[in-house]
């Protein structure tokens, strides 16, 4: 089965590196035009250069997904630059220190929820405004295996990702007859540059052992799942939390 995205106009948040960039590269390779955002200019410039090297038409803009004005501006500029918007991948997200809930900090809570939850809500809202007028579209949210299970010390992160899962499912039902599909991807631990920078080798081995496949996932593993969801091959799929976690949540 060939997964073609030829002619599709796709917006991806948090696409400067890791999973977001891997998805952008896969989409462009499959024929899509892609708009990307990030909060760091240098990272955004490097990502855009990689997409341009593959080919197609692209757009890039700095955007903080927790800022409603910046989100509205990014979506409006993308629609203008690309002519339409078929698919939105809400990938931007952050983590927080692993500590018991009684030791958590209000600033960490506010940052997590503003990006991981409010950011997804703001981007979904802008997506739905555009897609409702067109009568078609597909929103893909980047949730987590921790939208389905638990991890000691990650209470705030788990709460944010459970909320993304709930928002995905509820909105998919609300818009079931609109021509707009809404799904989420739930990755396990993925071997991204950020993970390598923040977790030592022995820690990464422990994280890998959480998966029955006993390895970390790759950004490309997630990108292939995103490809299927973004393509017409998944046309009867909505409201799904799609696990890409090496069997972790099957335990």
* pLDDT digits 0-9 by tens, 115-138: 999 999 999 999 999 999 999 999
The two tokens of residue 241 are 């939390």
Residue 209 lies in a domain: no
Residue 115 lies in a domain: yes
Residue 173 lies in a domain: yes
Q: What percent of the chain has pLDDT over 70?
A: 99
Residue 55 lies in a domain: yes
Q: Identify the CA nearest to 123 among candidates 60, 71, 186.
A: 71
Question: In total, how many domains does the chain have?
Answer: 1
The two tokens of residue 157 are 């992160």
CATH number at residue 109: 3.40.50.720
Residue 214 lies in a domain: no
Q: Element (H or E) spanning 245, and its range?
A: none
157 is catalytic: yes
Strand partners, 5: none
Q: How confident is the model at residue 159 (pLDDT cuts 50, 70, 90)?
A: very high
Residue 203 lies in a domain: no
Residue 118 lies in a domain: yes
Would you state the pLDDT for residue 1? 60
Give me the catalytic one of 59, 109, 157, 162: 157
Q: Give the structural domain span for 35.
A: 9-188+219-241
Residue 1 lies in a domain: no
* pLDDT digits 0-9 by tens, 1-33: 668 999 999 999 999 999 999 999 999 999 999
Q: Identify the CA nearest to 30 among candidates 242, 224, 234, 180.
A: 224
């Amino acid at each position: 089965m060939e997964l073609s995205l030829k002619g599709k106009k796709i917006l991806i948040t948090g696409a400067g590196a890791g999973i977001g960039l891997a998805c952008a590269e896969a989409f462009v390779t499959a024929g899509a035009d892609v708009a990307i955002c990030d909060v760091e200019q240098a990272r955004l410039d490097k990502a855009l250069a990689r997409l341009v090297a593959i080919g197609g038409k692209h757009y890039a803009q700095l955007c903080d997904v927790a800022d409603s004005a910046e989100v509205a501006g990014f979506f409006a500029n993308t629609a203008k630059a690309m002519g339409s918007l078929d698919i939105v991948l809400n990938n931007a997200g952050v983590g927080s220190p692993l500590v018991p809930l009684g030791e958590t900090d209000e600033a960490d809570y506010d940052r997590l929820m503003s990006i991981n939850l409010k950011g997804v809500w703001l981007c979904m809202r802008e997506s739905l405004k555009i897609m409702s007028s067109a009568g078609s579209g597909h929103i893909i949210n980047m949730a987590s295996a921790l939208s389905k299970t638990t991890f000691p010390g990650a209470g705030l992160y788990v709460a944010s990702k459970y909320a993304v899962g709930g928002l995905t499912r509820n909105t998919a039902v609300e818009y079931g007859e609109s021509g707009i599909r809404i799904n989420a991807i739930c990755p396990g631990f993925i071997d991204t540059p950020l993970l390598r920078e923040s977790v030592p080798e022995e820690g990464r081995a422990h994280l890998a052992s959480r998966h029955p496949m006993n390895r970390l996932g790759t950004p490309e593993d997630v990108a292939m799942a995103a490809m299927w969801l973004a393509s017409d091959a998944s046309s009867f799929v909505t409201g799904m939390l799609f696990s890409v976690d090496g069997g972790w949540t099957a335990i």
